[in-house]
Every structure is written in structure tokens, then in C-alpha cells.
Amino acid sequence: MGVVPSHKYPHMFLDPDDDDTASGPLDLREEITQQVEAHAQRVAAMEAVCAEKVRTLESTVQTQSQEVSDLRKAYSDMYSFLTQMRSSGSGSDLMPHMPPPPPPPPPAPS
């Protein structure tokens, strides 16, 4: 590390038992303690904000997952209906050139 010059960093060389110099290191310790506490408060506030954002995102994902599930069900019902109409022939005169329905969507991942 090397030698630390005492004239550049006098607070590092103060004798805590000396009444004339005791306030220097103590003030530095208090300042460090205050900065550590302020940092801890900022970290706690950021953690709270992040936790709220995570809850919001989880709620959004849950809502969208339900909507996708509902759309898959509607698609499946429509596919079944069109297949049933095509096989019964009841819709052939209404939709003579209707292409076959697309295959059902893949199941939702779990």
C-alpha cells in the first residue's frame, strides 16, 4: 500500500486520547455513520418501489394470461362450430368457398 503522508491526511494520525484532537475522528465517524444510514434508507425506499413494480407486473401477467386462455377457448369453440357446420353440410350453401378452418392453437404453456 505504501506510506501515507501525515501532512495530507492528519485525521488518520490523531490520537483519540488527546483532548485537542478527539473531535476530528469522532466527527468523521459520525459523518460516516450518517451517510451509511442515509444510504440504507435510500436502498430500502428503492426496494419498496421495486417490490411494487414486481407486484404490478405480476398482476398484469396474470390478467393477460387469463385473456389468452379466454381467447384460446373462444378459438377452440369457433373451430369446433365451423368443423361441425362443414361436416353436417348445413353451412355449405351459405359459405360455398369457405376454406377449411385452421388447426387449433397449441396448448398454453404451464
pLDDT in tens, 42-100: 999 999 999 999 999 999 999 999 998 899 888 888 888 887 877 777 655 555 565 66
57 is in which domain, residue-wise? 30-84
Split into its structural domains, the chain has a count of 1
pTM: 0.50
Residue 58 lies in a domain: yes
Residue 105 lies in a domain: no
Residue 57 lies in a domain: yes
Residue 92 lies in a domain: no
Place of cell 411494487: 52
Distance in angstroms (rounded) separating the CA atoms of residues 87 and 81: 10
